[in-house]
Amino acid sequence: MAHVLWHAHAGQLWDRFTRAVRRRLAVAAGLPQSHFPDHARLSFAKVAEYQKRAAVHVHAVVRLDGPAGPAEPPPAWGTADRLASAVQAAARSVVVQAPYSRAVGEHALRWGQETDVRPLRARAEDHGLTDDAVAAYVAKYVTKGASETAAGADRRLSAWDDIDAVPASPHVRALMRTCWRLGSLAEFKPLRLRSWAHTLGFRGHILTKSQAYSATYAALRGKRASHEGHDDLPGALTDASWRYVGSGHTPGAALIAAGVAEDLARSRALHAEARQMGEWCT
């Protein structure tokens, strides 16, 4: 039960975590929390990975910049050590209370004890992970297939019986059934657990980032289109003219449709006749 509920609240946990990091950085710098955006900006990119035990594990790059974002260096107090300390303290402190249920009781949901915080360096000789290494690290988890982890199914489930058809381990199918059962309880309706049973209750995206972390996807698509020589760049306006050609079946398709309609009408007539004669069985 707690496994599924943790997945369903992982987004809330991450939101409270990022707010706690900002709050702790502001306190360490002697700033009112409301003034933090005037001095620094916290950005992140994170990947959610399903482990073999079917539990979501988060890999994140957290960065501190000046108030204008990546183009501006962080303030003097925004050191890597201070950011690491804020991340560790926030991860230990945040908690989300799941809705109370008479069926499953109360659950206080937190991050796990295994928190690994390491600085990111621009060069390997700076004794830390380089940006290229982190990019490769993140790409590895983004491109993992469901069969390599325990990510559930690749499509939504429409009925209880669909769970038996999922090519997954008994443990993963048991978590899907737990989602289905909990999804029937009124207190968990807002979590939409049946809609997310195929992801074991996890409702977030595999890859997310804050808006100011790096280039936007729209900008990347534009660069790709420009590189490939496309004229229809994202955001460009294209003049087009349209004219009505027609609607309905082609002559051949119309004959087929007429034959199908005739067969259906005859079947309905025979059906009604059989019921009137008392020969219809239910």
Return the domain boundaries, the chain: 2-227, 250-282
Reply yes or no on whether the pLDDT at 123 is more than 80: no
Reply yes or no on whether the pLDDT at 52 is more than 50: yes
Reply yes or no on whether the pLDDT at 30 is more than 90: yes
Reply yes or no on whether the pLDDT at 138 is more than 70: no
Give the pair of three-digit tokens for residue 165.
């058809």
Reply yes or no on whether the pLDDT at 66 is more than 60: yes
Q: Using the 8-state DSSP alphabet, how is residue 190 labeled?
A: G
**In the predicted model, what is the mean pLDDT of residues 74-99?**
94
Could you tell me the pTM of the whole model?
A: 0.70
Reply yes or no on whether the pLDDT at 145 is more than 80: no
**In the predicted model, what is the mean pLDDT of residues 182-196?**
94
Reply yes or no on whether the pLDDT at 22 is more than 60: yes
Return the pLDDT at 79: 92
Return the pLDDT at 181: 94
Length of the chain, in residues: 282
Nearest CA to 115 out of 87, 96, 137, 93 is that of: 87
Give the distance, in angstroms, between the CA of residue 275 and the centroid of all CA atoms in the same chain: 53
Contact assessment for residue 111 and residue 91, using Cβ atoms and an 8 Å cutoff: yes
**In the predicted model, what is the mean pLDDT of residues 75-103?**
93
Return the pLDDT at 239: 63
* 252 band by pLDDT with thresholds 50, 70 and 90: confident
| pLDDT above 90 as % of the chain | 42
Least confident segment among 25-29, 50-54, 167-171 = 50-54
Reply yes or no on whether the pLDDT at 232 is more than 60: no
Report the range out of 12-21, 129-138, 153-162 with the highest average pLDDT: 12-21
**In the predicted model, what is the mean pLDDT of residues 175-185?**
94
N-term to C-term CA, the chain: 42
Least confident segment among 42-46, 148-152, 208-212, 267-271 = 148-152
Q: What Å distances lie between residue 257 and 247, 251, 254, CA to CA?
A: 15, 10, 5
